[in-house]
Amino acid sequence: MGNNMNLLSRTILAAVLTVLWASSTVVLPQTNQDAGYLEGEVVDPSGAVVPGVSITVEAKNIKRTVLTDGEGKYRVELPPGKYRVTAEALAFRRFRQKKVVIESKVAFRLNINLKFGKPIIVDGEHP
């Protein structure tokens, strides 16, 4: 009986070690180490922050959309490149900014001043 118990203990120990080893080799999603960031704050004509604004960032084969938080702030992680940014919210003009350049490991700040009414497009490197 002692040999059977010893064999059972070894089998259980081997099974536990196998499970621990397998769980330690789980591959986690990798982040883009060369990523940069687009961040900023959205305000209305009075300077009050605007929560819940849809911020869309687009380039070839990339489209990311986030909402501003309760303090009107947003942050998007992006690979380096040139992007178009759109901000949209009910009762405000659509805001567009072309040629926003995101560099590796750098945060580019784009604060947005929304206006009431019809869509507006802003061209250029920076507003």
pLDDT tens, 69-82?
999 999 999 999 99
Domain annotation covers residue 45: yes
pLDDT of residue 23: 38
Tabulate helix, strand, coil % of the chain (nearest 5). 20, 40, 40
Closest C-alpha to 112, from 59, 49, 67: 49
In a domain? residue 17: no
- 54 or 24: which carries more pLDDT confidence? 54
The predicted model scores a pTM of 0.68
- Does a structural domain hold residue 61? yes
Phi and psi of 36, rounded to 5°? -115, -175
Domain ranges, residue 79: 36-122
Q: What pLDDT, on the 0 to 100 scale, is given for residue 21? A: 39
Contacts of 28 (CB under 8 A, 6+ apart): none
Domain count, the chain: 1
Domain assignment present for residue 23? The answer is no
CATH code for position 93: 2.60.40.1120
CA distance 17 to 22: 8
